[in-house]
Amino acid sequence: MRELTEQELVRRGKLEKFKELGMDPFGHVFKRDSYSTDIKEKYSSVDHDEFEKMEDTATVAGRIMFIRKMGKASFFTIQDRKGTIQIYISINDVGEDTYSLFKTEDIGDIVGVHGKIMKTKTGEVTIKCLEFTHLCKALRPLPEKFHGLTDKEERYRRRYVDLIMNEDSKNVAFTRPKVIRCIQNYLETEYNFVEVETPILSSLMTGSNARPFLTHHNAQDIDMVLRIALELPLKRLLVGGMEAVYEIGKVFRNEGMDLKHNPEFTEMEAYLAYSDLEGMMNLTEGMFQNVAEKVFNKMEFQFQGHTINLKGPWKRISMTDAIKEVTGIDFKEITDLDECIKLAEEHHIELMDHEKQYGHIINLFFEEYVEETLIQPTFLYGHPIEISPLTKKNPDDPRFTDRFELFIAGSEFANAFTELNDPIDQLERFENQAKEKELGNDEAADIDMDFVEALEYGMPPAGGIGFGIDRMMMLFMEKDSIRDVMLFPLMKPQD
């Protein structure tokens, strides 16, 4: 059993006193009518003397964050979801019994206050307490006010304490839903999208290239995976005639953790019938700018040591041209695989067995020499067919596909396609993925025959895109770690 600290023992002693008085130390329903920041904004411009003529009252509730006891009168501060407000309490206003109850409260306890709005001589909007209600006893003390949770691991692990002590963390938590609502409104208003939900459990690993989390369905006695992408169910809905569908949901990839990756993350995928790659570029640029303007009221963000400007038009460049700009090598003019392998050897790029292909070599050159140089928003298009199993071939050069990735500050923010709707080509791509899996690529996709069958009924030409919501939040909130924008990132078990 955990050994209690001296402060925890004192708080538990007070807990017993509440019970002796016939009070529930963990409280009951309390009806408030106001929030701290709203009160301060409404009355901040009112002169001190004017309050003497006013009888405005407010009922608030929150956590005690500061107490200054002064005999028969005291000041304390409570924190609610919007901020903090000062309370003045006096034995003359609430009576001896209530004031004695107040004096047993500790920092961290949750209380309710009804009182008259006033302003102190120093100009601080304050509530003069007329009724005091104990709502919840905190059995653990909060961290020291000016230091809070200084250990980042502890901040992520005990996010509930971090939200109490860290205003910036609370701001991120409340801003994230605003960003998501803004995205939803943009898609539904500007493009007539419909939001849907698709299964998290699947018997196949499809929709992307990644290692999955494995599980087992007991009732059917079958192995299953947690989805690694949202793509194929959404495209089935295009076949069904829904035409413009998107989903914002959790996906799971059984891979490493770092500043940009968490095994469980939030993805948004959107599919628009009769659109294409250019349409997805326009949608993406407009969506980012819409969020920047409506939620943050600015277009420039400090991210990863760079000033990122979201004003358009954004740069658009092919993968082969981007490699040529940096290395001088023009892979578009190279047709011989042996020459590609030789170039990889000369540039000390190691190739696994399944990577000894034209497209994989191009991608490895991009990752080695180009990716981290793409700082301002850049649409990188023209990916090789080998690394794009769900994308339509480029009609002018079938070695490449109509696909783009959005890069900002050297990181991928979106992945988009002119969607492949040819069932014969799609089956061939799946079969090539199966061959790669045999060569050791454990991220290669499974063959989804049901999806091929769906395409055989006819899917309209379409554009599709996937966004990492967490990485998008990193940019907008100007954070360097994905854990700073997730309320509950995956953590290693404590010893």
> For position 147, what pLDDT does the model report?
54
Cα 191 → chain centroid: 23
> For position 354, what pLDDT does the model report?
84
- List the one residue out of 375, 355, 372, 373 whose CA is nearest residue 364: 355
Parts of the chain with a pLDDT under 50: 146
| Amino acid identity, position 230 | L
Could you count the other beta carbons within 10 Å of the beta carbon of residue 310?
Answer: 21
Q: How do residues 60-105 score in pLDDT, each as one tens digit?
A: 999 999 999 888 999 999 999 999 999 999 999 999 999 999 999 9
The DSSP symbol for 294 reads I
**pTM of the entire predicted model:** 0.90
- List the one residue out of 276, 63, 40, 297 whose CA is nearest residue 178: 297
What structural domains and CATH numbers belong to the chain?
6-142 (2.40.50.140), 165-314+376-485 (3.30.930.10)
Q: How far apart are CA 202 and CA 214, in angstroms?
A: 10
- List the one residue out of 208, 210, 207, 212 whose CA is nearest residue 235: 207
Residue 442 neighbours by CB under 8 Å, 6+ apart? 211
Report strand pairing: 315-318 vs 378-381: parallel
Q: How far apart are CA 495 and CA 52, in angstroms?
A: 59
Residue 399 neighbours by CB under 8 Å, 6+ apart? 358, 359, 384, 385
> For position 146, what pLDDT does the model report?
47
